[in-house]
Structure 1
Amino acid sequence: MENHMTAEHLDTLLKQRLKSNRWYCTGLGNNVDEEIEWERDVVQDLLAEYFPSANLPTRIPEEIATPEDFLILVVALFRQGKGMELPLVNEGVCRFLEQHFQCQRTLGGTGARSARALATLGLRVFVNLNILSETVRRLLDLPTLYTIVGSEMIRLRDAADLGEESYAPHFIVQYSEGDELQIGRETICCPQSNRIILPYDEINTIFTLNSSYFHHVSDMGNHVASIVISGFNSMSDEALLLSRLQEVESGLNSIRAQNIPIYLEDAGYHKPAYKQHVLRQLGPMSTIFGMNEDELADIVRLHHHRVDINDLQSVLNGLECVFEQYPVRNIVVHTKDFALYYGHDRRQHDIAAGLVFANALASTRARIGRDGTCDDLHQTLALPESSQGKLFQQQAQKTISNRYLVVSPARCLDQPACTIGLGDTFVAGFQIGFSHP
């Protein structure tokens, strides 16, 4: 398929996937997000209260323990238009955020968000959830979405009384390109829309995997379209992380003979060095390793490299660094301007279609602030493509490499309605092209 998709192409591909009626298996963790409504006046008032001299430290804290830490982080990342995930380590800061900002409760976690995006399109989804509650059921109330309760695979909306979850919020601050803050005499203009994730979550630090999940996946046999693996980034104990990785590796080994495509998605790790354990243990078992531009920068920084995301050759050099350091076979990078695949030739999967569908689904969420239907995707495809993405696509066609390179421009959205969950939604869309037909 050409690296372009019309509404007719999209409809045809989706109908093929619906007709095949395969299972899209996602996981492995989830959470409940508290999306903070950006209120400039509130932020300005807090800055005036906590930093009356307007003299903020420039060094980003390693964790958020005080309101001052929160404000330092917000200003530093707002100035750069960057995103990040850092843990909250003090419940008092959670209460501080709830007191000063309006919050909307939503679903969190790559596995859960990608599951909802796929189920919204009518595809059958089987998701591992390590937090089960009435709130989660309400947020995932879709007829084709199934999970594990105890050892039983059931439709989530049919589960018995699940109770309420423990207090484990993930606060998310999002800001838009062009937003302004006044720091003393300096006016800061945000150069790019982005978000900050601040979890206060003991549940995902231990990351309990339901042992029945991979048994059910194995029983599905050739009815599985693909598997999405993610969710280790909040873990704080190295020995426990290694134990959990061994559990997942054993589960994946049990289905290896079925040759199911496996997509391993990166995240912002609270302890960046732990990412290396995940890649070294699960990288060899994964068909594709996916990440956004911030996560790519984090990986290469561990090995004293830098990436200029606006320079295709710099991006490819960064990916070569990843290949040199870790046993991954193929890589997908997704950004606001483009998505690319770099690795072995995987023509038995429709990589180009996966990238285009993924960009369309993520851009739809950015455009309307929710998971998209087929009609929503049609409207998104009518938008112009990113000029930066088109430039990269043209350069990719002229790039000589011993690896297979595909670049797909994203849609141009200068003022997105939402910056939260776009990577998770991209992961969902990519499965539609990448998965077994």
Structure 2
Amino acid sequence: MDKDNGHVELYNECIECINNFSDISVFLAYNVNVDAIKFFKDGQEVQELIDQFDEKEIIDMIEKYPRKITHPVEFIARLIHSMRAGKPSEVPILENKSLNDWFNGLKYDEERMGGQVGIISNLLSILNLKRVIAYTPILSKKQAEMFVNRENLLYPLVIDGNLVLKKHIESYREDDPLKINRIFEYIEGIEFNLGDEKIITPQANRFIVASRPDALRFEIKEDLKKKLPEIGEIIDCAILSGYQGIKETYSDGKTDEYYFEKAEEDIKLLKQNNKNIKIHLEFASIQSKSLRKKIADRILPNVNCLGMDDTEIANLVHIMGHDKLSEDIIKNSRIEDVIEASKILLEEYDNLELVQTHTMYYIMCLCRKDNPLNDEELKKTLELATVLASTKAKLGNILKIEDLREGVRIPHNKYGDSLNSIVENLKNNDEYQDYKITMVPSRLVKNPKSTVGLGDTISAGAFIGYVSLLKNKNNKNI
């Protein structure tokens, strides 16, 4: 098969998957924000940031590995740590006036929709889902304007005691604050110096300084909360994310325990009148070990599917007591170790039916042998996910389904054959006889327009593909 025919065939397979999405409705909560993005295209601007401060102080701060940003030096230290490794990272900022003034003094290149819910809901509405209900506790006018204006993308409200679904631009609240995350994107091959060390970024990636405003509470407001069973009746699935934004304490004395209890209630109410809803948790980079553990203890036992990257799965198994495995994944990112970690999660959580992990070089899922979907069907969901990601990486955004013609032209990365060989060998291993392992190599864009949201794009595409195929199979069996 020549390349052009192969591209056409793959594009048609993707369209066939997407056509089935028109029968799927999804609910998303909680995190939406505006991303202010700065692109580093060479080392000069990084060097200028370093030169503002004492290099020894920066080097010492890198060693300390701050988990919160309270001063510009902590930001520069974590930025350099990310760029040196070429790995994505997100660190919360403890905002104060002088720190905000310093960040506001930087020149940003653009503002766009941010937050897992914001990114995923815009994508899914373009992929022609029947209904995309995207909820965020705070919705300012500027934020509302960043949702794409499509009939299937809606915000849930309670008006005169009734559940009403309206466009986001018709639903914003004048007094709601705006949450802004600062994103620092860098390309492969950026060079700069820190002390005696010459640093060259090994690959393109991003570092996120995450805002945690006190006014943002990760809960569904009480009037709408009462309508969650009603929402559950009109959806097939839900994607939940943003728990990394929960703080230990708030100005009014409420704690993270209070909001985790609310989050558990939300899930149970959503499933109250529809036990067949599939719920996906999109994990995230979480600096606090305590917060990670609470998500593992309170949220994970209530969901069906889990999506994350290799660093995030390493952090998750670490708080479960698998220190060496976690360290090995962080250090080497071997697919064998990631699959072992996925198996640990399925063994620990009976409710989980699918664990999906995406990395720079592959997207992989592990499920039990009795999963209704066969290997070929599971692979279709992952292949669609890689095409969505390569399209977004190349173009910066997906504005219409036809944009996928660009994504299918990006080849699988050069490690695909080796990865496939490793996975095939593991399938024959007695340890995995009770599981299905599916993997698709990623399609790497050398210098992507943007890396923010690629993981969310992959997870959302694969999950909705999974739900769609399950629904089709169930309908045929009726």
Output the TM-score relative to the length of structure 1.
0.90
**1:322-361 paired onto structure 2 within 5 Å:** 322-323=345-346, 329=352, 330-345=354-369, 346-348=371-373, 350-361=377-388
Provide the residue aligned with 1:162 in structure 2.
Answer: 173
Q: Aligned match of 2:406 in 376, 379, 386?
A: 379
C-alpha contact (below 8 Å) 2:157/2:224 kept by paired residues = no
**1:38-437 paired onto structure 2 within 5 Å:** 38=40, 40-51=43-54, 56-57=59-60, 58-59=62-63, 60-91=65-96, 92-123=98-129, 124-143=131-150, 144-150=152-158, 152-157=163-168, 159=170, 162-163=173-174, 165-166=176-177, 168-203=179-214, 206-211=217-222, 216=227, 218-219=229-230, 223-237=234-248, 240-254=255-269, 255=271, 257-302=274-319, 303=321, 304-305=323-324, 306-308=327-329, 310-323=333-346, 329=352, 330-345=354-369, 346-348=371-373, 350-399=377-426, 400=429, 401=432, 402-435=434-467, 436-437=471-472
User: Helix, strand or coil: the match of 1:89?
Assistant: coil
C-alpha contact (below 8 Å) 1:343/1:403 kept by paired residues = yes
In 2, distance between residues paired with 1:214 and 1:364?
36
In 2, distance between residues paired with 1:369 and 1:311?
28
C-alpha contact (below 8 Å) 2:357/2:363 kept by paired residues = yes
In 1, distance between residues paired with 2:248 and 2:362?
35
User: Helix, strand or coil: the match of 1:206?
Assistant: coil
Provide the residue aligned with 1:13 in structure 2.
Answer: 17
- CA 1:119–1:220 in 2, change beyond 3 Å: closer, same or farther? same
Following superposition, the deviation at residue 157 of structure 1 comes to 4.4
In 2, distance between residues paired with 1:212 and 1:360?
40
Deviations 1:374-406 (A, max 9, x none): 211122112210233443233223323122211
C-alpha contact (below 8 Å) 1:364/1:372 kept by paired residues = no
- CA 1:119–1:214 in 2, change beyond 3 Å: closer, same or farther? farther
Following superposition, the deviation at residue 205 of structure 1 comes to 6.0
In 1, distance between residues paired with 2:122 and 2:29?
12
Following superposition, the deviation at residue 110 of structure 1 comes to 1.2
User: Which stretch has the larger CA shift, 343-352 or 260-269?
Assistant: 343-352
* 1:169 aligned partner, one-letter code: I
- CA 1:415–1:265 in 2, change beyond 3 Å: closer, same or farther? same
Following superposition, the deviation at residue 194 of structure 1 comes to 1.6
Provide the residue aligned with 2:38 in structure 1.
Answer: 36
* 2:447 aligned partner, one-letter code: Q
Following superposition, the deviation at residue 164 of structure 1 comes to 6.2
C-alpha contact (below 8 Å) 1:54/1:184 kept by paired residues = no
In 2, distance between residues paired with 1:15 and 1:237?
43
Following superposition, the deviation at residue 81 of structure 1 comes to 1.0
C-alpha contact (below 8 Å) 1:27/1:112 kept by paired residues = no
In 2, distance between residues paired with 1:93 and 1:327?
45
In 2, distance between residues paired with 1:266 and 1:69?
24
- CA 1:373–1:161 in 2, change beyond 3 Å: closer, same or farther? closer
* 1:113 aligned partner, one-letter code: I
- CA 1:214–1:112 in 2, change beyond 3 Å: closer, same or farther? farther
C-alpha contact (below 8 Å) 1:36/1:103 kept by paired residues = yes
Higher normalized contact order (CA 8 Å, seq sep 6+, divided by chain length): 1
User: Which stretch has the larger CA shift, 247-256 or 281-290?
Assistant: 247-256
In 2, distance between residues paired with 1:139 and 1:246?
30
Q: Percent identity?
A: 20
C-alpha contact (below 8 Å) 1:25/1:217 kept by paired residues = no
- CA 1:383–1:168 in 2, change beyond 3 Å: closer, same or farther? closer
Following superposition, the deviation at residue 193 of structure 1 comes to 1.7
Deviations 1:88-130 (A, max 9, x none): 1133223212212224222222122111110122322001112
Gaps of 5+ in 1: none
* 1:343 aligned partner, one-letter code: C
Deviations 1:125-148 (A, max 9, x none): 001112201111110032121012
Gaps of 5+ in 2: 1-6, 473-478
User: Helix, strand or coil: the match of 2:31?
Assistant: coil
C-alpha contact (below 8 Å) 2:34/2:111 kept by paired residues = yes
In 2, distance between residues paired with 1:117 and 1:75?
31
C-alpha contact (below 8 Å) 2:145/2:169 kept by paired residues = no
In 2, distance between residues paired with 1:347 and 1:102?
47
In 1, distance between residues paired with 2:54 and 2:351?
45
User: Helix, strand or coil: the match of 1:126?
Assistant: strand
Once superposed, what is the RMSD of the aligned Cα atoms?
A: 2.6
User: Which stretch has the larger CA shift, 272-281 or 138-147?
Assistant: 272-281
Following superposition, the deviation at residue 373 of structure 1 comes to 2.4
In 2, distance between residues paired with 1:53 and 1:271?
26
In 1, distance between residues paired with 2:307 and 2:29?
14
* 1:234 aligned partner, one-letter code: G
In 2, distance between residues paired with 1:268 and 1:310?
16
In 2, distance between residues paired with 1:340 and 1:212?
39
* 2:401 aligned partner, one-letter code: C
In 2, distance between residues paired with 1:155 and 1:203?
27
User: Which stretch has the larger CA shift, 305-314 or 214-223?
Assistant: 214-223
Deviations 1:193-242 (A, max 9, x none): 22111123224763232345565553356642321011110212277333
C-alpha contact (below 8 Å) 1:235/1:270 kept by paired residues = no
In 1, distance between residues paired with 2:400 and 2:264?
34
In 2, distance between residues paired with 1:373 and 1:186?
45
Deviations 1:325-357 (A, max 9, x none): 555523110112111111224334843222222
C-alpha contact (below 8 Å) 2:34/2:178 kept by paired residues = no
